Amino acid sequence: MQIFKDLELTFVASFGTSRTGKTVTITILDEDGNVKATGYSAGSVYELSDGSYGVKITFTEAFSGHIRWNNTTDSIEAYQPFVVVADYRADITNALKILKNRWKIESNQLTFYDDDDTTPLYTFDLKKEGSANDGTDPDERIPSS
- Beta-carbon count within 10 A of 55 CB: 19
Domain ranges across the chain:
7-84, 100-143
Closest CA to 42 of 63, 22, 21: 63
What pLDDT, on the 0 to 100 scale, is given for residue 123?
A: 93
Give the whole-angstrom CA distance, residue 50 versus residue 119. Answer: 57
1 — pLDDT class (breaks 50, 70, 90): very low
The CATH architecture one would assign to domain 7-84 is Sandwich (2.60)
pLDDT digits (tens, 9 = 90+) for 4-58: 567 777 888 888 878 888 888 889 898 898 998 767 777 788 888 888 899 988 8
Give the whole-angstrom CA distance, residue 113 versus residue 123. Answer: 9
Give the whole-angstrom CA distance, residue 25 versus residue 138. Answer: 62
For the chain, the C-alpha Rg in angstroms (whole number) is 26
